[in-house]
Amino acid sequence: MTTASARPATPLAAWRGLLARPLASYYLLLASVGLLVAIGLVMVFSATSVTAYVKSGNAFAVVTKQATWAVLGLIGFWLFQRLPVRTYRALGTPLVIVAICVQAFMFVGGLMGGKLSFGGIQVDAQGIWLHIGSMQVQPAEFAKLALVLWAAELLVRKRDVLDQPKELAAPLFPVAGLLLGLVGYHDLGTMLCMLATFGALLWIGGVRLRILGLLLATCTAAILALIWLIPSDYREARLKSFWHPELDPTETGLQAMQSYYAIGRGGWFGVGLGASSLKWGYLPEEANDFIYAVIAEELGVVGCAVVLALFGVLAYAGLRIARRVADPFRRLAAGSATIWLAGQAILNMCVVIGLVPITGVTLPFISAGGSSLVVSLAAVGMLASFARAEPEAAAALHARPPGKWGRLLWAPLPPLPGNGADRAAPRQRSGTSSKGRS
């Protein structure tokens, strides 16, 4: 007779056993992001190899640049994984000041065509791009991380008075509103991602629902003002083509229609990796905003589901980290960073399949673009640092510490529960008190 202990474990029991391991959040995070970056490099090569060969004679031109950015992003991941929580808390204010100054330069430069020269290096603001010599970056991507760190630190310091609107009015709402407005003037899609991140910070921090409702109404009015009061031909065209892109399939509805063709052509299993034809100049931004359409054409519904599942694992791991860490700053930063990455991915996918108007946001870790990839990997490094600081994870790492070279080359040991910043943990979880939700 077979005993209960001798029965084979079911897949569900085995999965629960894996999730019960102390470092489960850490490995889920690394596995999902690592696979997304690998898929991104493959799909960027597939989406650009033909056009790159036609333009430069080198099919690897674009993917080589993307791989270089990926290496820089991994360095950012490594550095951010090593930082203690006090460093993250100290970085918020200087980063948000720099972000506002850069966005102000982008705003003035966009209006006046401003160009500056520093030591022979020309700096030029053009729309959402900042050109520094031969390199171009998208400063709004760095503003996302700055907002997370600064607002999380401020909410932690004010956590006992978050029910008082005057405490939020100085300086949280004015500074965040200024940064969001400067970003949104040129890049409404990125501003929406930042707004969702900011809302997540307030929700996790325990801000009252009536204050959140007032903020939502104010932001809705501000977004409508940006759309209708500030002249922008491309925004108006995108809105007009959203409902009926087939009425102008060669101009304003081109991106949407070509995306639908790619999805329909891919079917369940796709036409095969590298076999897309719509990427040959028919689908605009095939390696950036609409790379998910190339995935749909070449890998089908199955490939799209795999990418969606990986983002689901990333979201689960990030929210699990936010739930399990003891330090309130880590909880706020982890939860909001997770909403930022997962929310941006969902927004991009919704654009591709036609559920929302075209916003211009990229698919994190997959779309071609250095600024997004580097900042996203740095944010994941922060999440990895927090995952190692989960009480059970920290205790397990201290029980069997890695060698000296392991700590030097990978990451130092996290503080034990109850030490350092973890002493600042609130008496109850933020966002669950009756005071914070009244």
Residue 421 scores a pLDDT above 60: no
Residue 427 confidence (pLDDT) = 38
Give the 3-state DSSP-derived string for the chain, with helices as H, strands as E and coil as C.
CCCHHHCCCCHHHHHHHHHCCCCHHHHHHHHHHHHHHHHHHHHHHHHHHHHHHHHHCCCCHHHHHHHHHHHHHHHHHHHHHHCCHHHHHHHHHHHHHHHHHHHHHHHHHHHHCCEEEECCEEEEEECCEEEECCEEECHHHHHHHHHHHHHHHHHHHCCCCCCCHHHHHCCHHHHHHHHHHHHHHHCHHHHHHHHHHHHHHHHHHCCCHHHHHHHHHHHHHHHHHHHHCCCCHHHHHHHHHHHCHHHCCCCCCHHHHHHHHHHHHHCCCCCCCCCCCCCCCCCCCCCCCCHHHHHHHHHHHHHHHHHHHHHHHHHHHHHHHHHHCCCHHHHHHHHHHHHHHHHHHHHHHHHHHCCCCCCCCCCCCCCCCHHHHHHHHHHHHHHHHHHHCCHHHHHHHHHCCCCHHHHHHCCCCCCCCCCHHHHHCCCCCCCCCCCCCC
pLDDT tens, residue by residue, 160-184: 887 777 777 788 889 999 999 889 8
Per-range mean pLDDT, top range of 214-223, 231-240, 366-375: 366-375
The stretch 6-16 carries a mean pLDDT of: 73
- The band of 58, judged by pLDDT with boundaries at 50, 70 and 90, is very high
Q: State yes or no: pLDDT of 436 exceeds 70.
A: no
Q: Tell me the pLDDT of the chain averaged across its residues.
A: 85
What local confidence, expressed as pLDDT, does residue 61 receive? 93
Judged by average pLDDT, the poorest of 53-67, 226-240, 354-368 is: 226-240
pLDDT of residue 438: 37
The more confidently predicted of residues 261 and 245 is: 261
Side chain identity at residue 316, one-letter code: Y
In the predicted structure, residue 63 carries a pLDDT above the cut 90: yes
| pLDDT given for residue 425 in this prediction | 42
Q: Give phi and psi for 129, each to the nearest 5.
A: -105, 140
Higher pLDDT, 166 or 141: 141
For residue range 307-353, list pLDDT tens digits in order: 999 999 999 999 999 999 999 999 999 999 999 999 999 999 999 99
- Higher pLDDT: 318 or 421? It is 318
Which pLDDT score is estimated for 424?
A: 42
- pTM beyond 0.85: the answer is yes
Using the predicted structure, report yes or no on whether residue 429 has a pLDDT greater than 70: no
Query: Looking at residue 435, what is its pLDDT?
Result: 38
For residue 230, the model assigns a pLDDT of: 63
Give me the pLDDT at residue 24, please.
93
Residue 3 has pLDDT above 80, yes or no: no
pLDDT digits (tens, 9 = 90+) for 378-409: 999 999 999 999 999 999 998 888 887 888 88
Does residue 226 surpass a pLDDT of 90? no
Question: Does 437 have pLDDT greater than 50?
Answer: no
Least confident window among 138-147, 207-216, 326-335: 207-216
- 111-125, 132-146, 290-304, 368-382: least confidently modelled range: 111-125
User: Which of 6-10, 197-201, 280-284, 405-409 shows the highest mean pLDDT?
Assistant: 197-201
Mean pLDDT of 137-150: 93
The mean per-residue pLDDT over the stretch 81-98 comes to 95
Higher pLDDT, 4 or 295: 295
pLDDT at 212: 86
Where is mean pLDDT largest: 123-132, 157-166, 284-293, 295-304?
A: 295-304
Confidence tier at 376 by pLDDT (50, 70, 90): very high
Average pLDDT rounded to a whole number, residues 120-128: 72
